Structure 1
Amino acid sequence: MFESMTPAERVAFILHDVFGFAFAEVAEIVGRTSAACRQLAFSARRRIGAAQVPATPAVRQARIVREFKQAWEAKDIDALIALLDPDATVIADGGGRVGTMLRPIEGAAQIVRSLVNLAGKQRDLTVLERTVNGRPGLVAQQDGVIVTVVAFDVEGDRIKHIWAVRNPDKLRSWTARS
């Protein structure tokens, strides 16, 4: 979105809206009037608003996460690929304490390959739909203990990013809730 702004809009916006400079101070820095700087920041905000993609409604996000869970449990490769953005990414955090992917996985086909491989290794895993970071997500339990919390970024009707937390230190707050 910053690329859509002129350099002057970018400077006025960042100095005022991000760093909290008064327009009089911004004017001194950039060599324009306070009114001109106010207008530049206004234009920058308008560009930002126009560039933002409307959020996927929570009901649709929940449906997509549910379909993802069902497809993963069924090992339905075609359904998983259909739910993922072609450029989707997965990042997992084991904190060096539990096994996980060492690098982000990029691309729907590579993600599905990893998920199917993972599904074959998991035994007695219960996956529950839960709210994660204020959005629909998944929580995996093994023998009643939470072992993974998964958050999703859904854009439109596709999953764009997946974050899996497996680090037991980071899961403590989740185990306290269950």
Structure 2
Amino acid sequence: MSDDLPAESVERGGVERDASQSLDSVMAERRRLLSLAFRMMGTLADAEDVVQETYVRWYRLEPEERDTISTPAAWLMRVASRISLDLLGSARARRETYVGQWLPEPVPADLFADTAKAPLNSSHLAADPLDRVTLDDAVSMALLTVLEAMTPAERVTFVLHDVFGVPFDEIAGVVGRSAAATRQLATSARRHVRRGRRAQVSPDQHDQVVRAFRDATVGGDIEDLLRLLAPDVELRVDGGGFVNAAPRVIRGSDHVARWFMGVLRKQPALRLERRDTADGLGYILRMEGHRYGMLTFDVGDESVTNVWLMLNPTKLTQWSLD
């Protein structure tokens, strides 16, 4: 008996291998898509919904339709961006009924490492190199809060072009504008980013100020704490209706300092444990063996300019007590 397989078996085996390789290559884009969708939506839960719907649409395609897609990764990115654009409008409506203040989700510094450094086509960066805002892979609270101030079309355009290097003529198809109008969206988005960025400090300076903030707060030294806070510092707390939280922004160094001192007086068992966040050094709040919250900071001109306190447990899933 010959060991040779029938020709049709060989062909079928080749098709199955090709299909498997195609599936692997499509699924390999999942982390990159999640990175994209998180920048668009601001929470991992919403980003997961976007990615799931993107894959649903891919698998609904007929095989012949998939065969016409020369670059599946680019197709997936465009579809995820369109879904995000559609969802951003309804997300804003939901946030109007949110209990207390809504904040984006704080994430570890390396959660999306190496997901935005290599655009799908390096030639995409050839256009408008001087217009791009310098960004790294870290998805900081400082950037996410600025993105929240943009229109959905500005946000999608900014993330696609300045973070992922997609050219304007492709983005135009996503946002339903001309390439020229899309460039204007990017220009407007960059103005938001530059207005939201104070004098930048080095990572070492950021962490030094944040460590001093912790020492002064835990030590109960309000004078030292006041010296570390910018006069117009702002504190935002997101409890999501799950825990008691400040319902409005707390502004001014005196009010912010006294708020923190009051919390520690009422909760003497509260512990601040360092974590590396996308904004730099931050602290997880631990009380009696339970995760209580996450503190992240924006530092400019050697003082704390913004404090974000996440108490909503649904936005703390990436932070363990280990």
Structure 1 residue 173: Cα displacement: 2.2
Secondary structure, counterpart of 1:115 in structure 2? helix
The runs of 4+ residues in structure 1 deviating greater than 4 Å are 51-54
Amino acid at match of 1:94: G
**Deviation per residue, 1:53-84 (Å, 9 max, x gap):** 55211111111111000000111111111000
Quote the residue 1:123 is aligned against: 268
Please point out which of 201, 208, 231 is paired with 1:63: 208
Cα distance per residue 1:77-117 (max 9 Å; x no partner): 11111000000000001111111111110000111111111
How many percent identity over aligned positions?
26
Contact 2:279 2:297 (8 Å CA) reproduced: no
Residue of structure 2 equivalent to 1:145: 290
Q: Cα 1:111–1:25, aligned 2, differ >3 Å: closer, same or farther?
A: closer
In the alignment, structure 1 residue 85 sits paired with structure 2 residue 207: no
**1:174 maps to what in 2?**
319
Equivalent residue number for residue 249 of structure 2: 104
TM-score by length of 1: 0.70
Q: Does 1:157 align with 2:307?
A: no
Q: Secondary structure at the match of 1:173?
A: coil
Structure 1 residues not aligned, in runs of 5+: 1-13, 30-36
Q: Is the 8 A contact 2:234 2:306 kept in 1?
A: yes
Q: Distance in 1 between matches of 2:222 and 2:273?
A: 20
After TM superposition, the score normalised by the length of structure 2 is: 0.40
> What amino acid maps onto 1:68 in structure 2?
F
Higher Cα Rg, which structure: 2
Query: Per-residue displacement from partner, 1:141-169 (whole Å, max 9, x unpaired)?
Result: 01122101001000021000000001111
Letter in 1 for 2:283: L
Correspondences of 1:17-36 after superposition (within 5 Å): 20=168, 26=180
2:264–2:270 contact (8 Å) kept in structure 1: no
Go from structure 1 to structure 2 and tell me whether the alpha carbon gap of 1:53 and 1:172 turns closer, same or farther (over 3 Å shift). closer
Shift of 1:132: 1.9
The answer to whether the 8 A contact 2:296-2:308 is kept is yes
| Partner Cα separation in structure 2 for residue 87 and residue 124 of structure 1 | 29
